[in-house]
Structure 1
């Protein structure tokens, strides 16, 4: 049995170490880790602030670790320096650990977004993790907890014990907020096939289900319906004829959810609209499902609810990307930038099983181009998208639609560039009838782009074709010389710099999911791509110049994207719905 010293013993030992330090001659060398500076020069203070401002992926040298440890008592005045100082501690040294514990006891609370870093695999110490949790409890609203819930559930894997303060905190929140509880349940349930965490997550699920009261009935119905849909899609993969009475009956008897797993406030009635349901043409045979909206005010809102059920595709990367896009949008809104992003609902509910929200009144770029005849479909006419938006938005609605397209296009240009979103073709970029643009299908990110003959197929940093520029410039052919394009550029620059200011948050959010086993998020090397796109080694002016070059490359190289789209259209035009 291992017995840990109590707080009084730790403090006594730390005080003894400090008194012993006073007898040291500090001029010995930088390697004297027992030495401690009582004062700090202006130059040293600047160096300390510089080290603490480095992003979470920055690797401290041994000299920098010694420097931080020597100035550990001053670091208390810079609360955000804690992660760097903890990395400087020699955790096999009783002397250093006892002093760190005493410092931690009096350490000012950090911003919750900064404290998230202390929950990753680099910080297994229970005292450190308890401090991080205190920061979260103090600083996170329920909305923020919902926003970061995906990561908070994953870092439970790094806890030493099954019963731990973080688990208790999450269960308490899940039981007092139905939205948090709903997604807490599904984030745990979706990993129950993983034997390495099934015991831990199973105990948490049982604790939650035993205490959640009447809501358990809704969760049971959702789980039963999901299981039936999995069985149904497994069968359909081997069926030759889909539109049979047997399949229709199977649909009808499988799909009583009561409440939607995607949105716990949305009710799905018994009234499945069978004539609108279909088995989609892709290899995994996803289901397009359509329910009548049972709300008595549905005529004023929307008359139906549509979701896509996928069995065989890992939706966790989509879920993470959409979460990040939503957080980006919040940051932009807080800085007065309304870029009208559309992070639609997406939920992984099991091993390569999940649900995706269908966005109403939206069409792929390919569908719109095909409406422009053969010239539009084969990219010979770049005006098709603009004509379509103009046709859908008459009079005053036209200017609003162009503004909406411009804002959303700017947001997605910046987001897809920073995140390294790949496989961008005209079937996974969509536009709503009101002009709002959005991207779908995020199976490739962090620059894991498809290759052909060893070369990356996509040769531009992000998609900004002539079709988009013509819409932004309201039909003008010399698009880049218009004031509308200048306004679009300015939006992109502001959006990019705003996200760069929060680089550490995004690096942390990805780092906390390294234990997930996503195919394109396996190591810190993958996350290092964010350091590149956010130009974290450069000054702000240099970073802006770097992004400006990427934007120029994007619209000057738009013809390469058009060529890719032509071949994609030729391959998929017969199957496009």
Structure 2
């Protein structure tokens, strides 16, 4: 096929050939690894005397995280340099079968034949120095290291040619969609060697023009650089070199399932897109010559220039500036120092490789008017590497109060990934603020504790946590330690309850039995801060008021006693990653504050969620009823409200405040779930409180992902509209008015919300980590920043009308009810 510019390409769905590759060699030093392995071989009496190791590579193919076919192994190679195989591997899958998230996994293993003595003690062997061996003992496979590799790029182009993959020592490669053993080094960790390897790969694929005399000089220089770098940093990492099959033209991904006779739009990567034009860069450098600095001081933008600058300042944080836009901002930089929104855009137009230009930009940055917190958060993203720029963001954060800082603490902890050192100013700032505030200390400790599971940045988070533990006062440290002990005991209980065979009542009986028996110390203990809300002090659990939910994971519903004599109910989950739910609830809480600051209270219910590890956490329990149960027992929502708020003179026989609360909460969650792209909505994860508040739970699908086909743009079911009196009622008109007003208020703070999600790009959350940039763009699209307020109102009203009239989602809801019934 050919694109619009004449460039030819293939579609992956048209390639009926098996996936083929060549496993070439292993680079690095195995000596330290082998010594460490043999030292750990304590089960064998004389393992250290005579190991006979051999290396081989096990290759597997994972499609959407599921193993496809059987693993393929290379021949054995002796464990001595050079470690080479040069073996072709042909897998059972064909290119047409692959998906965009297909991964190849490589695990380098070795066979160790441990030669054991014949029933004589080690002391006897040493005394007599006998050399009798029994070689019948089975060989042991030991993982040298593993790496996972995506076969399609982010632009959905098939990768070809040589690939140098970093091995994770002692680990078996996993084929998860979000792999914990990525073979490619992250951009921020790449050094000169990685850059040269990438350039050589392009050269071998023919993407760099061959010039013999210049190539010879270049290869000699590359060899010299590699030798110097190896001497300087040593060969501490192992790398596996593989070569993928190359084709005559680029191969663009197309799903075979979605292929149809009609014409489809296929995006073909253009190697020139995104690359800087050297002529343009030279022109910019000439235009920015420092000798023109005096003239630039007095330069003012014209009307046309002001319009252009205003347009640029409206760009979201993910938008890159082209050469013309960068030059415009640099040209009028002195006249922009009074515009706080312009600082982040100005810093993006700076050439930081130019020392003179960078120095001038930093001097100007300190003269700039104070920026908002949203812009300060953007300066802490991976888009800004300068320590001075990131330090300027900390200067802004230091002026914020503890309550506001807590609203962004989750993202600030994630931003530690983008720091250039383990002991950064951001880390010190977070620790110093937390040690003087119990709430900040509580959440900072748990946020850091969760990130210790990040294999890449575990050391960094551990050092910050260690700094926090050293700095915090002993009484507070003791309370936080008791929290950890409480969570550990709850994990033990949850595991035991889940393993109980039988009906739900048996699980509940087991929970109460443990609380009154072997775990009776949990019924009364010294006061400690509630992890979800440190302002509440817990003193024990009430076994009689604790229960278990009917679910595969058997979550615990626990009732705590508080120092004030009250009760606090919480859901404890074991085996579930709550970090994405925690993020969504944090954004809902923030949006609630933004709406209330504009005098619009939509009666939201931002309950608390705290992830204490990647597989456990706590959720605040709100007394409520699933909408599915409400309709099953009462037929309509109005009948449900009549039980608690009957009023013969009120609308539909219920009190006006109750109906008003329902209308407002429906509007608030319709807007928020639309903006965040919340999916998998059904009548079991919409909950209703007795006072009229409706709220959503379970946020496993966000940013447009949905488990059901053809989801409506607005999560609004017909039963909700009927409870308002139908589409022609005044209450439904008020609902639409609240929706449009809330939408425009949140659009004003789009920059803050986008930056908060932008900072989460490094977190391994299911719906963000796969393509962080795409996720932010999806969120940005929902704000429709290209529309003014009046146009946004018309747009949102159209969305509401389209959602109410959607018939297919109602059919899916019926199917879901049947599935729940038979389950």
The residue aligned with 2:812 is 564
Which residue does the alignment assign to 1:512?
759
User: Can you list the C-alpha shifts for 1:44-92, whole angstroms capped at 9, x where unaligned?
Assistant: 1221122122211222112111222222222212222111111111121
How far apart are 1:294 and its partner, in Å? 5.0
2:283 aligned with 1:34: no
Using the TM superposition, give the Cα deviation of residue 440 of structure 1 relative to its aligned residue in structure 2, in angstroms: 0.6
> How far did residue 155 of structure 1 move?
0.7
Aligned to 1:86: 347
Equivalent residue, structure 1, for 2:542? 273
Does structure 2 conserve the Cα–Cα contact (< 8 Å) formed by 1:386 and 1:467?
no
The residue that corresponds to 1:339 in the other structure is 602
Which of 701, 715, 723 is the matching residue for 1:471?
723
1:483 equivalent in structure 2: 730
What are the residue-to-residue correspondences of 1:9-88 with 2, within 5 Å?
32-35=286-289, 37=296, 38-39=298-299, 40-88=301-349
- Report the alpha carbon displacement of residue 293 of structure 1 after superposing the two structures with TM: 4.6
Structure-1 residue corresponding to 2:797: 548
Q: Please give the per-residue CA displacement for 1:246-304, whole angstroms capped at 9, x wherever unaligned.
A: 6434345174683321111223332x3334333333222222222345533x3xxxxx3
Q: Which residue of 2 aligns with 1:526?
A: 775
CA contact (8 A) 2:512 2:543 kept: yes
Determine whether 1:371 maps to 2:633.
Answer: yes
- Any idea what SS the aligned residue of 1:347 has? strand
Moved more, 325-334 or 50-59: 50-59
Counterpart in the other structure of 1:8: none
Report the number of matched residues: 518
Partner of 1:431: 688
The aligned residue for residue 171 of structure 1 is 431
Aligned to 1:4: none
Structure ranking higher in strand proportion = 2
Deviation (angstroms), 1:331: 1.1
Change (3 A) 1:43 1:491: same
Aligned pairs for 1:121-136 within 5 A: 121-136=382-397
Q: Aligned residue for 2:669?
A: 412
Q: Does the C-alpha gap of structure 1 residues 31 and 288 become closer, same or farther in structure 2, counting only changes over 3 Å?
A: same
Aligned-residue offset at 1:427: 0.7
CA distance in 2, matches of 1:310, 1:371: 28
Deviation string, structure 1 residues 367-411 (Cα, Å, up to 9, x no partner) = 111213xxx4xxxxxxx1111012211237721110110111110
Between the aligned partners of 2:671 and 2:381, the Cα distance in structure 1 is: 27
Distance in 2 between the 1:447 and 1:260 partners? 34
- For residues 77-476 of structure 1, the aligned pairs below 5 Å read 77-138=338-399, 140-210=400-470, 211-241=472-502, 242-243=506-507, 247-252=511-516, 253=519, 255=522, 258-270=528-540, 272-293=541-562, 295-296=564-565, 298=566, 304-360=567-623, 362-372=624-634, 376=635, 384-395=636-647, 398-451=655-708, 456=709, 458-473=710-725
Q: Which structure has the larger Rg?
A: 2
Deviation at 1:199, TM superposition (A): 2.2
Q: Say whether the 8 Å CA contact 2:449–2:613 is kept in structure 1.
A: yes
Report SS of the residue matched to 2:478.
Answer: helix
**Partner of 1:106: helix, strand, or coil?**
coil
Q: CA deviation at 1:574?
A: 6.8
- Distance across 2 between alignment mates of 1:389 and 1:135: 48
Q: Equivalent residue of 1:306, what SS?
A: strand
TM-superposition CA deviations, 1:340-389 (whole Å, max 9, x none):
111101001112211111102x11101111213xxx4xxxxxxx111101
Match of 1:496 in 2: 743
Instruction: Give 1:176 deviation, angstroms.
Output: 1.4
Between stretches 333-342 and 282-291, larger displacement belongs to 282-291
Number of the residue aligned with 1:3: none
Q: What is the distance in 2 between the residues matched to 1:331 and 1:178?
A: 25
More helix by share: 1
SS of 2:637's partner is helix
Q: CA deviation at 1:417?
A: 0.5
Question: Alpha-carbon deviation of 1:147?
Answer: 0.7
Q: CA deviation at 1:200?
A: 2.1
3-state SS of paired residue (1:214): helix
Note if contact 2:500-2:507 (Cα within 8 Å) is conserved in structure 1.
Answer: no
1:411-452 residue CA offsets vs partner (Å, 9 max, x unmatched) = 00100011100011011000100111111111111001114x
What's the CA shift for 1:31? 6.6
> Using the alignment, how far apart are the partners of 2:493 and 2:452 within structure 1?
21
Q: 1:542, 1:240 → 2: CA distance?
A: 58
Deviation string, structure 1 residues 488-520 (Cα, Å, up to 9, x no partner): 111111000111111111110100111111110
Measured in 1, the distance between the counterparts of 2:465 and 2:515 equals: 29
Paired with 1:220 and 1:402, the residues of 2 have a C-alpha distance of: 46
Partner SS, residue 387 of structure 1? helix
- In terms of mean alpha carbon deviation, does 278-287 or 154-163 score higher? 278-287
Structure 1 pair 245/444, CA: closer, same or farther in 2 (3 Å)? closer
Shift of 1:29: 6.2
SS of corresponding position for 1:520:
helix
Q: Contact 2:497–2:507 (CA<8 Å) still a contact in 1?
A: no
Structure 2 gaps of 5+ residues are: 1-281
* Residue aligned with 2:572, SS: strand
Q: Deviations over 1:132-179 (max 9, x none)?
A: 1111112x1211101111111111221112222222221121111111
Q: Say which is worse superposed, 158-167 or 180-189, in terms of deviation.
A: 158-167
Closer, same or farther in 2 for the Cα pair 1:516/1:460, shift >3 Å?
A: same
Aligned alpha-carbon RMSD (Å): 2.1
Instruction: Find the aligned partners of 1:120 and 1:414 in 2 and give their Cα distance.
Output: 27
List runs of 5+ in structure 1 lacking aligned partners: 1-27, 299-303, 377-383, 474-478
User: Which secondary structure does the structure 1 equivalent of 2:569 belong to?
Assistant: strand
Structure 2 distance, partners of 1:129, 1:293, is 42
Displacement of 1:541 in angstroms is: 3.1
- TM-score in terms of structure 2 length: 0.60
Q: Which moved more, 1:333-342 or 1:199-208?
A: 199-208
